[in-house]
Structure 1
């Protein structure tokens, strides 16, 4: 019986993740062998130039000058590729040694580094949605975040859900920014507007929107980073914790 996709993924943790593959065709040995690493690197190249939405197994096969069937000898399916992509980004994230006196600052730092990794590749955070992490590099980040939250004296169940919620927010924020940047790059001025135009639109609203008209400046204030840090800190500040912190 053939191994299941789950078994093939698990086997990667024990086996060589980059077994060489023979390249057939007129160019023979002049082509680089197909490996998991080559597949992932090529996928990142496609996302960087064309966006995550452009990444398909067929598009990837064309970039590697092979057929889709050759890829499936190394990658189970598109979902498996997504795990590898997020794992590669996660592997580059530095995790601090949990410090009870600085756990909030440390947690914000990890969230910020994760966001920065996602924003390097337009839309790639979409690959992390609705996926239970099984890649060891991805799990390393969630393990590190959990250790930081626990060091702050947060009860284990709350800490576990907090890590999930923070990760989900980082994913969603990164995706929204990527979508907005993509529209700007395509000159879709009708969909992405600046603060001045938003203020004008709010000012022109009928009187049935009194709060929006009155607080238009507040609603449109701040940079993308300001709003990101505000939300992450707001989520962290809401966590119950039992360990005293220095004043």
Structure 2
């Protein structure tokens, strides 16, 4: 099965009989798709998502770029496999109408933690059509929880998209900020005192509220802002 056929097969319902019949004909290759994914995640963990190219990945696997295309169609296909691997690690709850808001926040927090293990990888999830089964499994799980909570199907469907988009964007921003903080010239970006000083030094006639509430604008430890935003998003669904 060539890479395009393999990718297409991931989008089809499972067919155990066909899979069993194909096993004896499976070619024993020195590099497997799982090895490609493992190595790609290793590169991202140490160098960041932006460092991951097909050429860089081939070097890490001690092979040529052309040989990778025996396992993945292109970089977009690789991105889909990477996000699918991270989604496979998520534990989805049994929908509970009495605890649906907590369940939604819990799944989003799990995804956040997976993304942040691999700096910048959430960029791969942006504008991605969800077709990988593991990625779809997460969407299915979130949808089931929202529906159990009494959210209308249309609102629930759009909420899943919005929640996943926010988690990806949040993690991308955190990854960028952490990378900048690693350079002395950019350290002030995460220095709250310096940021407050800059805000309070603005012209009072033009920025009265910014100056007055500089502490609130720069507040937040750890993932407090993430938790706040999820609470606003999920809470806004009540009654819809």
TM-score, normalised to structure 1's length? 0.87
Q: Please, what is the CA RMSD of the aligned residues?
A: 2.0
Match of 1:80 among 77, 80, 83: 77
Match of 2:118 among 112, 116, 121: 121
Shift of 1:190: 5.3
Report the counterpart of residue 209 of structure 2 in structure 1. Answer: 211
Report the counterpart of residue 20 of structure 1 in structure 2. Answer: 28
Report the counterpart of residue 236 of structure 2 in structure 1. Answer: 238
Q: In structure 2, what is the Cα distance between the partners aligned to 1:77 and 1:85?
A: 13
Sort the Cα spacing of 1:126 and 1:101 in 2 relative to 1 into closer, same or farther, 3 A. same
Alignment check: 8 A CA contact 2:3 2:70 kept: no
Return 12-21 or 221-230, whichever deviates more: 12-21
Alignment check: 8 A CA contact 1:8 1:76 kept: no
Report the counterpart of residue 57 of structure 1 in structure 2. Answer: 54
Match of 2:92 among 95, 104, 109: 95
Report the counterpart of residue 25 of structure 1 in structure 2. Answer: none
Report the counterpart of residue 140 of structure 1 in structure 2. Answer: 137
Q: In structure 2, what is the Cα distance between the partners aligned to 1:19 and 1:165?
A: 41
Question: Unpaired segments of 5 or more residues in structure 1?
Answer: 22-32, 243-247
Question: Unpaired segments of 5 or more residues in structure 2?
Answer: none
Alignment check: 8 A CA contact 1:155 1:241 kept: no
Return 170-179 or 184-193, whichever deviates more: 184-193
Alignment check: 8 A CA contact 1:36 1:74 kept: yes
Sort the Cα spacing of 1:173 and 1:63 in 2 relative to 1 into closer, same or farther, 3 A. same
Report the counterpart of residue 179 of structure 1 in structure 2. Answer: 176
Alignment check: 8 A CA contact 1:152 1:241 kept: no
For 2:184, what is the secondary structure of its paired residue?
Answer: coil
Which structure's residues are more often helix, by fraction?
2
Report the counterpart of residue 30 of structure 1 in structure 2. Answer: none
Sort the Cα spacing of 1:178 and 1:211 in 2 relative to 1 into closer, same or farther, 3 A. same
TM-score, normalised to structure 2's length? 0.90
Q: In structure 2, what is the Cα distance between the partners aligned to 1:36 and 1:188?
A: 40
Shift of 1:128: 0.3
Report the counterpart of residue 10 of structure 1 in structure 2. Answer: 8
Sort the Cα spacing of 1:159 and 1:63 in 2 relative to 1 into closer, same or farther, 3 A. same
Q: In structure 2, what is the Cα distance between the partners aligned to 1:39 and 1:121?
A: 15
For 1:189, what is the secondary structure of its paired residue?
Answer: helix
